[in-house]
Amino acid sequence: MLDDFLTRAGLAGVGLTLATGPLGSFVVWRRMAYFGDATAHAAILGVALSFGFGISVYVGTLAVALAMAITVATLAGRGHAMDTTLGVLAHSALAFGLVAASFQSGLRVDLSAWLFGDILSVSRGDLAMVWGGALMVVALLVWRWQGLLTATVNDELAQAAGLNPRHERLALTIALALVVAVAIKIVGALLIAALLIIPAASARQFTRTPETMAIGATLVGAASVLLGLAASLRLDTPAGPSIVAASTCLFAASLLAPRPKA
């Protein structure tokens, strides 16, 4: 069954949405959309460095995404305006990544695969990485769920209850870097944030608790992957952008659904 490239693509996409559903919900609740963007854009630099040093792309991307996320969190903590900090770092990481990539002849040809993803070329090894990474993120979020949620509602409420909101922020930062590392192959650096935010925003329309929104976001995300792949196959369109376009259609449909009352 895993011999079929389309099956592998579908499984990889669905596996990824296990993590992007709940994590994307936190990104939406905590208004971290741009933060996700910055981390994802840094991944291109990670790809270029991985090729330069001859290490695994997953390791390189994870390291750079993590460094990026921590830098942003630190600078923001020092009182720099968050959107300016992110604006500087997100675009400069992308620019440096593209410059670094141009030094490697093989990568230059293949750059669009890293920017927009290449889900149809997912190997068995990639599949294992995606599912492994996604399950780690889910485990991390489930483990810290109550604390994460309390700190998302209000930092002081969490502190007064003896929790440390910095730890919760760190957990989200690590989860984000992990998701970026495993998602870059599937939707590419430019569209990872879309896969985090759009399904979560769609799920918000018809849910009443944080948990149902997180699960709903995964379901919408998985549906987007399958619809996008189907469309890509039929219309011969690029798979990554097709998945994001499908999730946008689902979001538009969710706006038409009646919101739960009260």
Partner 1 sequence: MSLISTTGLGVEHGGVEVLSGVDFTISKGEIVTVVGPNGSGKSTLIRALIGLEPAATGQVHRAPGLSIGYVPQRLHIDATLPMTVRRFLSLPRRVSDDAATAALLRCGVEGLEARQMSRLSGGQFQRVLLARALLAKPDILILDEATQGLDQPGVAAFYRLLEDVRQETGVAVLMVSHDLHVVMSASDRVICLNGHVCCQGTPHVVSAAPEYRALFGLGTGGALALYQHVHDHDHDHDHGPEGHGHDHAHPQDAPTSAGHPHA
Q: Where along the sequence are the contacts to partner 1 (CB under 8 A)?
A: 28-29, 31, 146-147, 149-150, 152-154, 156-161, 163, 201, 204, 207-210, 212-213, 262
Helix axes 33-53, 5-29, angle to 10 degrees: 130
**Nearer Cβ to partner 1 (234/261):** 261
Q: Minimum distance between the CB of residue 60 and partner 1, rounded to whole angstroms?
A: 33
**Nearer Cβ to partner 1 (77/125):** 77
Pure H helices in 144-238: 145-153, 155-160, 165-183, 192-204, 210-235
CB 191 within 8 A of CB 241: yes
Amino acid code (one letter) for 148:
L
Q: Minimum distance between the CB of residue 86 and partner 1, rounded to whole angstroms?
A: 19
Q: Minimum distance between the CB of residue 40 and partner 1, rounded to whole angstroms?
A: 20
CB 126 within 8 A of CB 185: yes
Taking the CA of residue 103 as centre, how many other CA atoms within 13 Å lie in the half-sphere pointing to its CB?
Answer: 12
How far is the CA of 3 from the CAs of 8, 32, 123, 226, 257, in angstroms? 8, 38, 9, 18, 39
**Nearer Cβ to partner 1 (115/201):** 201
Q: Minimum distance between the CB of residue 156 and partner 1, rounded to whole angstroms?
A: 5
**Nearer Cβ to partner 1 (56/164):** 164
Q: Minimum distance between the CB of residue 26 and partner 1, rounded to whole angstroms?
A: 10
**Nearer Cβ to partner 1 (204/226):** 204
